[in-house]
Amino acid sequence: MAKVNNLSFQDALFPTRPPNSCYINNVIYPQENYSRYTFALCFYAMAFIHTENHDGRIRADKKTHEVVFKETSSIQPGSRLSGDVSHETISSLNDMCRNLSIPGDLCSGLKTCLKMASDCCQSQLAESTNIAEGFCPSTWDGVACFHTHSNNSEASVPCPDSFILRHGNVTKQCYQNGLWNERTFYQNCVQIAYQHHEILHTVGNVCKIITISAVIPACLIMLYFRALRQQQRIRIHLGLLLASLMVAVSTGLWSFLVHRSILWGERPFVTERNPVWCRLIHLSEKFSFMALFMWMFIEFYHLHRLLMNSFSAPQSVRCYYIYGFGFPLVLTVIYGTIRATDKKLSERCMENFSLLHWIYNGPNIVTLALNVILMIRIVNVLLRQLVPLPNEPSSFRRAVRAVMILMPSLGVQYVLFMWTRPEGYSVLRTVHDVLKEILCSLHGALIAFVFCYLNREVRSILKIPCLYLRRRLTRRSFTTSSCTQRGPETNCSLKERRGGREKSHRLDAEPANGKLDETWVPLNQAPSPKISSKHGGNGYSCELEGRPNGDNFLNDTEVTEVDPEGQDLPVYCCVDADHCVTEPVTKPVTEPVTEPVIEPVTEPVTEPVTEPAVWGYLNKFTNNFTDQEKYKYFPVFPNRSKQVCKDSCDGSDIMCQPRRLPQWEKLMSSPKVHFKPFLSDGQYIFPWERDYLKFPPLVDSKTLPELALSTFNMAGGNGKEVGCDVGQRLTGRLDVRDGYGRRRHDGMDEVRIWIVDTANTSQRAVGQVEDFRNGSYGLEITCLWPGTLAELRVAVSYPREFIRAVIDQVNRGVTRYTAGLFTSKRSQEVTVCHPSPILSGRDCLCNFTSFNTREYYCGKPLDRRLNCSHWMATYLLPLPRPYKVTRAERLLIIQIPGPVSKRTLKTKLLIRTFTRGHLPSVPKCSCTSAKITWDMTKRPQGFWNSRGEWESLQCQTSRFPGQGFPECLRNAQIYIIGDSNANRMFGQFIQETNSIKTMDGSWPGQAEAANRVWNITVKFRPHEYPLFLKKNWTPLLRYGSVEHIIDGVPSRGRQLVVLHYYLHLTPFHLSVARSRMEAAARAISRLLTRNPEARVALRGPHVTSRDWDINHTVGGDALGKHFADIISAAFAQLKDRVVFLDGWEMTTALENAEFHPDNRVPREMILMFMSFICKQ
């Protein structure tokens, strides 16, 4: 066979095509040359398309059939590249692309182009070698293949897949002489590509702007409101929002500054110039995406941890932020450093294809996979472990809803679009790419809406400034009142001024038709009130006289205040709980500040037993305190389920309207909610309540303690350092001043003092505080660690005004409420439940004292098809807002939660302990009486040493090395009774005794574990209602009260009991706690009498400053010391036989803020208890 050179059809004048040759644009090439030159043409075309090779830095040499690279190329300058369209070359393209750092799109397009060129030549070889007259022969133009076509016409073929992504037409002209036009027209394909990318560019930018506009306000909201930013889950949401914001900004900058120049043809392209800022944008984009994926994983991990390990110590948010931003930052620095140090890899704004992309793509894929696994486990919990109740959605519906909420955290859009992509430029691919762009670009906006704007807690916080703004905007329309005294009668009138009209109404007489002509104030049978105002401090207070029980209060939404600009504002005087009248007043100039006068009530308040308020035996603000406690009457309260009450509902009472859970949740979060007071104004049960309530409500925030203006002095010091010997006591004084710099003269603030070793912060101890009741506090610290330097810290944990607000809110009925589900086959209804029978919204009550074996009540269902026996489950309702408080009190309640360090005085005083002296020796705990543990008047009782262990100053405790712990508890049966903190002690006992769970019940269910080798059994039992469980319906707990459980402890054998009551009782009036503590003390007394081998420990309260949602006055540790006093009084006769585990001092030294303290606390408590019952 003759060898044929490359000849044009016209020059060769061959009537036939030589065998084993193919056409490329009217030129006949032998198959070998065709294969090599086609490789060069395809490489050149793909480089032009995918790498913006518009300056000719890559060209196809017609003579040598090679790809020639100029010196400006990132590949070796002046190098040449040759190849062919053989199967071996196509299969090895991936290796070649990696070696030459060729972008993936170019490599993929080159593979497609070479395959099409090979197929085109094969089709030419299959055709006849004779060229028919009047036809143009089949040919390859370098990108597309044109088959035999009639002359003097235009041929068209679809746009090649290697070039553009949509089905369009490529055209080429066949002339009269049978020659093809050298130029092929790709305008349609190019236009389609331009339109496609322009659509994506526009859609992406709009979505990114929406995301940035949604995320920034969400971040500001979470950062601005203290009640939000101090919550762990909100701070985790904030991290995810910040990551999504960085993604939107970095991708937006890349699209606007880099991609736009390519799309609009601004030559030279930014990627060709390769400026430093372009590379930085690339790195910031990679960092942002890694941070986003990491925070999505943190969201799932945190939720999974809460579900699976409810009682483990909470993970520090600081650690989450280190993982979420630190880990991506390290990988980005490694990736950027490698790229920057290599000239090839740093070209084209670091967008060249490289295996280095796996540095960030690998962790992203792993986190997506882990998110899917965690979501499956979470959904499994919803489907299997949480049993649905009749009025709840089915397990399937609940799981579907949870999955939909979790989707923003999962990053499902990245999973869906990771591999699926239609081939070619088609409508389907355009829809695919637009949908991907929308979902990915709006990811941050979706997160902001789910976790912020649609978050019920965030919305409830935002309503507070909205209500204030609405009041400010509506002050142009106001109502005035005036009252005159004529003998024994009081004449009051109201005037409404709206625009230019004014209406007057009298309040002292009822109109002839029995109704008021306007809906102002409903008239009662009681004498008409006299409305007056008194100036006090920087605000005004209202007094209402002539009402039964002497009710004085401020309305929840219309509060007394003074305009910050100094203008006089109207005083809102409330006639009853729902109606207020306003009285514009002028500040008096010479009138002295007066406080409300509290007059003694001589007649007891008595009401029928069939009414909710049955307390006629309560103490008043008098000097005659009688020990008649309200809690004693709980058991004798009648069963309101019988027809002794009005079994109906007043439709006008908003508290009576809810019958379903969403209605109760909405009502509890609403400012319209109102409660029946637990105690009337002027009533109290404990003497310390009287001491706080005698002060008026806070109206001026500047009268609160101001630590920056307060002074601290230590005897024997120079203001910077004071020295002492080991065991020596140092004394000092704290003088608290308010925001005006004036000394506070009444005291009663809760002040805490502790020291922290500067070299080893594990060493901590608390000091003694004495309140002089004149604004000064005596402080005493013991020097404990020889040769060290310790920092002294003093904090005003709670000002007197806040403690007063806590007591006042409880007395007004603002506590923690639980929803009760009543269901039968024919009907279901939700009512509210509480440990006292003072319930709003229901006249009839269900008395579940016999079921609970301690006092517990629920509103009786209004549906007559339901009765009290249909009670099935409980649900934790949202916290109510601060109720009937002044503006200053509301602000204080919002600002008070958080770490105690925010309320700590910066003393800058260091205590240097010399090596002289020693601590007094103490006996072993097993050789002394448990009574020493009850002495809470002397501090410190112990301290945290350098190993993070608690060293008692009362007696020597043992560490029980080796098998000492299980040996100590040989043949023992241990009962842990209480709340979730008791449950954590149960877990600690299991760990120390090497026991295995035999009843794997999760909180709040009962659980058991055993060690068969040492014959040890550990049992956990929750205490009775009230129990605040998770926000899902929980079936009834039928374990009975603490006294019922203790009475069931065997009368023989070695029985150990650990009891803990605390955070589930502090939201209520502490008379509820006293009732239960005394009942438990009686049960323990009976146990110790019938079983002399039994040993009992009682865990006391601990400090916790974590926020209870939006109302910190409900629960918490503000009354923790009074709770401890109640415990001490209840166990007064058992102190020599019951070990008191004092967590207050341990957690004060640790500056604890969480509901569940550090694991060291329960462990040290257990070791203290074991040291009393085991000889070492």
CA distance 298 to 320: 7
Q: What is the pLDDT of residues 39-84, one digit of tens each?
A: 888 887 777 665 544 445 666 776 666 777 664 444 555 567 777 7
Q: Is the dihedral of CA 924, 926, 929, 935 positive or negative?
A: positive
Choose the weakest-confidence range: 619-633, 933-947, 1023-1037: 619-633
* CATH class in words for 701-806+889-917: mainly beta
pLDDT at 5 over 80: no
What per-residue confidence (pLDDT) applies to 650? 63
Average pLDDT over residues 188-215: 78
**Whole-number Å distance between alpha carbons of 194 and 199:** 9
Sign, CA torsion 859/861/864/866? negative
The verdict on whether omega for the bond into residue 608 sits within 30 degrees of 0, i.e. cis, is no
> Tens digit of pLDDT for each residue in 649-685?
666 678 888 888 888 988 888 888 888 888 877 788 8
Tokens of 694: 């005698």
Q: Would you state the pLDDT for residue 781?
A: 93
Contact 816, 888 (CB under 8 A): no
Here the tokens at position 1113 are 């006055």
Q: What is residue 186's predicted lDDT score, i.e. its pLDDT? A: 74
d(CA 760, CA 784): 13
Bridge partner list, 173: 154
Q: Which residue has the tokens 């692309």?
A: 97
Tokens of 290: 């890694």
With contact defined as beta carbons under 8 Å apart, do 1061 and 1023 qualify?
yes
> Would you say 775 and 735 are in contact if contact means Cβ atoms under 8 Å apart?
yes
Give the C-alpha distances (Å, rounded to integers) separating 772 from 404, 662, 1059: 58, 50, 35
Q: If you average pLDDT over residues 516-524, what whole number do you get?
A: 33
Where do the H-state alpha helices sit in 812-936? 849-852, 887-895
Q: Tell whether the torsion through CA atoms of 108, 109, 110 and 115 is positive or negative.
A: positive
Nearest to 35 by CA among 83, 99, 90: 83
The pLDDT of residue 588: 36
Contacts of 60 (CB under 8 A, 6+ apart): 37, 40, 41, 43, 44, 66, 67, 68
Q: Which tokens go with 210?
A: 């929406």
Is the model's pLDDT at 191 over the cut of 70? no
Helices (DSSP H) in 131-267: which residue ranges? Answer: 187-224, 226-229, 232-253, 260-263
> Is the predicted pLDDT of residue 631 greater than 50, yes or no?
no
Query: Is 379 in a helix, a strand, or coil?
Result: helix
pLDDT value, residue 257: 79
Contact 1029, 874 (CB under 8 A): yes
What is the percentage of the chain residues whose pLDDT exceeds 90?
27
Q: Exposed, middle or buried, 1001 (CB in 10 Å: 0-12/13-18/19+)?
A: middle
Query: CATH number of the domain at 926-1173, please?
Result: 3.40.50.1110
Residue 520 phi, psi dihedral angles, 5° rounding = -95, -80
Neighbouring C-alpha atoms within 13 Å toward the C-beta of 1123: 29
Comparison of pLDDT for 217 and 631, the residue scoring more: 217
What residue has token string 């036939």? 16
CA distance 663 to 212: 34
User: What is the pLDDT, as a whole number, of residue 997?
Assistant: 82
Whole-number mean pLDDT of the chain? 76
What DSSP state is assigned to residue 869? G
Which letter does DSSP use for residue 174 in this model? Answer: E
List the domain boundaries for the chain: 7-155+175-182, 191-454, 467-512+524-584, 619-691+818-876, 701-806+889-917, 926-1173
Please state, in angstroms and rounded to a whole number, the distance separating the CA atoms of residues 814 and 809. 5
Cβ proximity of 151 and 178 under 8 Å: yes
**Most confident segment among 96-100, 266-270, 653-657, 814-818:** 814-818
Q: How far is CA 304 from the centre of its chain?
A: 14
What's the average model confidence in pLDDT over 527-547? 36
* CATH number 1.20.1070.10 is the correct assignment for the domain at 191-454: yes
Q: Which of 1122, 1081, 1075 is nearest to 687 (CA)?
A: 1122
> In terms of Cα–Cα distance, which of 303, 389, 350 is closest to 397?
389
Please, what is the angle between helix 187-224 and helix 427-441, to 10°? 20
Mean pLDDT for 552-558 is 30
Per-residue pLDDT at 351:
73
Token output for 786: 């020889």
pLDDT over threshold 90, residue 11: no
Q: What burial class does residue 904 get, using C-beta atoms within 10 Å of its C-beta: 0-12 exposed, 13-18 middle, 19+ buried?
A: middle
Enter the tokens of residue 366. Answer: 């792993």
**Of 147-161, 799-813, 956-970, 1007-1021, the least confident:** 147-161
Among 247-261, 528-542, 1091-1105, the range scoring the smallest mean pLDDT is: 528-542
Under DSSP, the state recorded for 738 is: B
Distance, CA of 494 to CA of 515 (rounded, Å)? 15
Per-residue model confidence as pLDDT tens digits over 849-892: 888 888 999 988 988 899 899 999 999 998 888 888 999 998 88
CA-based Rg of the chain, rounded to a whole angstrom? 40
What is the distance between the alpha carbons of residues 811 and 814, in angstroms, rounded to a whole number?
7
Q: Check pLDDT > 50 for residue 567.
A: no
Region 33-43: mean pLDDT is 83
Q: How far apart are CA 1066 and CA 609, in angstroms?
A: 27
Question: Would residue 884 be called left, alpha or beta, if left means φ above 0 and alpha means ψ between -120 and 50 degrees?
Answer: left
Task: Tell how strand 972-978 and strand 1016-1022 pair up.
Answer: parallel
Instruction: Report the percentage of the chain scoring pLDDT > 70.
Output: 71
Query: Is residue 179 very low, low, confident or very high in pLDDT (cuts 50, 70, 90)?
Result: confident
Q: Tell which wins on pLDDT, 718 or 1066.
A: 1066
User: What is the reported pLDDT for 802?
Assistant: 94
Biggest alpha carbon distance in the chain? Answer: 138
Where does residue 908 fall: left (phi above 0), alpha (psi -120 to 50 degrees), or beta otherwise? left
Q: Indicate the pLDDT class of residue 698, thresholds 50, 70 and 90.
A: very high
- Matching residue, tokens 């019920």: 456
Residues contacting 1174, CB < 8 A, separation 6+ = 926, 958, 960, 968, 969
Lowest mean pLDDT among 272-286, 823-837, 1076-1090: 272-286
**Cβ of 470: how many Cβ atoms within 10 Å?**
12
What is the model's pTM? 0.54
Residue with token string 């897949």: 161
- Looking at the predicted structure, is the pLDDT value of residue 602 above 90? no
Local structure of residue 924 (DSSP, 8 states): B
Q: Is a pLDDT exceeding 80 seen at residue 213?
A: yes
* Burial degree of 910 (CB within 10 A; 0-12, 13-18, 19+): middle
Per DSSP (E only), the strands in 605-694 are 619-620, 683-684
> If pLDDT is split at 50, 70 and 90, which confidence band does 626 have?
very low
pLDDT for 930: 94
Q: Report whether the peptide linkage leading into residue 268 is cis, meaning its omega lies within 30 degrees of zero.
A: yes
**Confidence bin at 278 (pLDDT 50/70/90):** confident
| pLDDT tier at 404, thresholds 50, 70, 90 | low
DSSP line for 245-303: HHHHHHHHHIIIIIIHHHHTT-SSPHHHH--HHHHHHHHHHHHHHHHHHHHHHHHHHHH
pLDDT tens digits, one per residue of 1109-1121: 567 778 788 999 9
Report d(CA 194, CA 203) in Å as an integer: 14
Coil, strand, or helix at residue 105? helix
- For position 553, what pLDDT does the model report? 29
User: Are 132 and 120 within 8 A, CB to CB?
Assistant: no
Q: Which H or E run contains 832? A: strand 828-834
Give the mean pLDDT of 1060-1083.
Answer: 93
- Sort strands 950-952 and 942-944 into parallel, antiparallel or unpaired: antiparallel
Are 1138 and 1098 a contacting pair, CB within 8 Å? yes
The predicted model gives 991-1011 an average pLDDT of: 84
